[in-house]
Structure 1
Amino acid sequence: MRVIKKLNNNFAICVDGEGKELIAAGKGIGFPKTPYELEDLNLITRTFYDIDQKYIGLFSEIPETVIHFTAKLVDIARNELKYELNPNLVVTMSDHISFCIQRAKKEIYVQMPLIYEVEQTFPAEAKIGRYAVKQIERRFHVRLNQNEASGIAMNFVNARYNSKSRTDVTEELQSQYDDILEDTISIVEDEMGILIERNSFNFARYSSHLMYLLKRIAGHQTLDSDNGIMYKSMREEFPEIAACVELIDRYFHRKLRIDLSEEEKLYLLLHINRICTREGL
């Protein structure tokens, strides 16, 4: 196997004997100067094929323990679920779980759909979600809201290989989706002084968050909890991002005649903060 690019000391982009590109995990495989031939394949502990280019950088950003934990979780899901899962799921769910852990350590608990509601439609995925929450708590020594299981469950649902990401959104909202996405991204770019590449993971994650938001609007659901105090605290800590969120809230009021709850604003602030952090702000 030829190692062609280091991601970190233990992850690297490689090419196998058939000329296929992959991400390989193994202790120290990224340490030597690349490119080089890896003779001892026993060093490889796991391989990831068909990873979209925009997700590759996350292998060097997400804690390795989270990636390996998630890979094992996805292995379990592949045995339990009756459909093929998108190969990018390991990366996107690692990012999701890493975000859950970060929030829990800061005692930020964002309201999720009730797990028993998800169980009605997706019982197999909900079961894995519940299992995942228990294992995350045990492995990473954090306390999670049990409804985090629903967010993990929906990651599996959305990772069906040929699933439509825009289901459950009204035709009117779906027709406006691209405009809403571009308009709100432009607000973030203008206010924060950054450029978000449209083929980047930051863009894909924000797009996914926006779609979930529109689904809740379509279902006349809002995220609402007692996180008003937390939002006020975060607003004081990140005033520029909070101002950006308020502009997006006004945009939604003009465009869709809705006002975002403080819970929605908090979640949006957290997402925009992650984008800015990754863009080096």
Structure 2
Amino acid sequence: MQVINKLNNNFAICIDGEGKELIAVGKGIGFPKTPYEVEDLNLITRTFYDIDPKYIELFKDIPEKVVHFTAKLVEIAKNELGYEMNPNLVVTMSDHIHFSIQRAQKNIDVQMPLIYEVEQTFPAEARIGKYAVKQIERRFNVWLDPNEASGIAMNFVNARYDTRLKTDVADQLKKQYQEILEDTISIVEDEIGIVIDRDSFNFARYSSHLMYLLDRIAGNKMLYSDNGIMYQSMKEEFPGIAACVELLERYFKRKCGIILSKEEKLYLILHINRICTREGL
């Protein structure tokens, strides 16, 4: 196996004996000067194939412990759920779990869809989500809202739909979704003064959040909670981003006839701030 590019000291882009590209995980494999041959394959603890290039850089930011935990969780889910999953799931789920842990450590309470609602439609995925929450709490010494299980469950649902099982509903929403996605991302770019790479993970993350938001709008299930104080605090800490979110709210009022709740605006501030952070602002 040849290491061709370092992601960090323990993650690297490699080429296997059949010429296929993969992400390899192993202690110190990214430390030597690249390219080089890995002589002892026992150093490699995990490999990930068919990862979309736009997600690869994310491995630099996610702790190795979280990636290993997520990989094991996905293996369990594959056995339990019995369907094919998008190979990018390990990366996107790792990012989701890492973000959940960070929010818990900073006492940021972002209300998720109620797990019992997800259970009505996706009981098997919800069961895995609840199991995951308990394991995250135990492994990472944090407390998570039980409804965090719904976000994990929906990651599995979306990974399934991203392969061969796109639903008619998703096809019907696609045209409107793409239009709103481009409109809103253009508002962010104009207001913040950045250009967001449409092939980047930042864009993919925002796209996923927007799809969830449109689903909640369509189902009249806007997120509400007692996070008014947190929202006000975030507005004061990030006034430029908060002003951008106010423009997005006007857009949604004009386009969809709805007013975003403070909870939804708080979530948008968090996501747009992550975009700005990744863009170096």
- Give the deviation of 1:38 after TM superposition: 0.6
Counterpart residue identity of residue 236, structure 1: E
Q: Which amino acid aligns with 2:164?
A: N
Aligned to 2:34: 34
How far apart are residue 176 of structure 1 and its match? 2.2
> 1:63 is aligned with what amino acid?
P
Shift of the alpha carbon at 1:168?
Answer: 4.4
Name the structure 1 match of 2:20.
20
Indicate if the aligned counterparts of 1:170 and 1:218 stay in contact, CA closer than 8 A: no
Q: State which of 154, 161, 164 in structure 2 corresponds to 1:162.
A: 164
1:201 matched residue in structure 2: 201
Name the counterpart of 2:271.
271
1:152 aligns to what?
A: 152
Q: Deviation at 1:175?
A: 3.1
Q: Report the RMSD for the aligned CA atoms in angstroms.
A: 1.3
**Structure 2: runs of 5 or more not aligned:** none
Q: What is the alpha-carbon distance in structure 1 between the residues aligned to residue 243 and residue 101 of structure 2?
A: 26
Match of 2:230 in 1: 230
TM-score, normalisation: structure 2: 0.96
Residues in 2 aligned to 1:231 and 1:263: alpha-carbon distance in whole angstroms: 7
Match of 2:103?
103
Equivalent residue number for residue 259 of structure 2: 259
Q: Would you say the 8 A contact 1:104–1:143 is kept in 2?
A: yes
> Size of the alignment, in residue pairs?
279
> Quick one: which amino acid aligns to residue 110 of structure 1?
V
- State the partner residue of 2:244: 244
Q: Evaluate the alpha carbon distance shift between residue 206 and residue 167 of structure 1 in structure 2; reply closer, same or farther with a 3 A threshold.
A: farther
User: What SS does the aligned partner of 1:159 have?
Assistant: helix
Letter aligned with residue 16 of structure 1: D
CA distance in 2 between partners of 1:262 and 1:85 (Å) = 34
Structure 1 distance, partners of 2:168, 2:232, is 33
Deviations along 1:142-190, whole A, 9 cap, x unmatched? 11100000110010010012233x764694x543221211111011111
SS of 2:77's partner is: helix
Compared with structure 1, are the counterparts of its residues 167 and 112 closer, same or farther at alpha carbon in structure 2 (3 Å cutoff)? farther
Asked if 1:9 corresponds to 2:12, the answer is no
Q: Distance in 1 between matches of 2:118 and 2:250?
A: 31
Cα drift, residue 194 of structure 1: 1.2
Query: In structure 2, what residue type is equivalent to 1:54?
Result: K
CA distance in 2, matches of 1:276, 1:198: 14
Q: Deviations over 1:129-151 (max 9, x none)?
A: 00110111111111110000011
Instruction: Please give the per-residue CA displacement for 1:34-73, whole angstroms capped at 9, x wherever unaligned.
Output: 0001110000000000000000001111111111111111
Counterparts of 2:210 and 2:218, CA distance in 1: 12
TM (norm. structure 1) is: 0.96
The answer to whether 1:182 aligns with 2:182 is: yes
Q: What amino acid is the match of 2:158?
A: N
CA–CA distance in structure 2, aligned partners of residues 176 and 156 of structure 1? 24
What residue identity is the alignment partner of 2:96?
Answer: H
Query: What letter corresponds to residue 275 of structure 2 in structure 1?
Result: I
Once residues 37 and 207 of structure 1 are traced to their aligned partners in structure 2, the CA distance between those partners, rounded to angstroms, is 38
Residue 177 of structure 1 aligns with an amino acid whose one-letter code is: Y
- Taking the aligned partners of 1:174 and 1:4, their CA distance within structure 2 comes to 37
* Cα deviation, residue 26, structure 1: 0.3
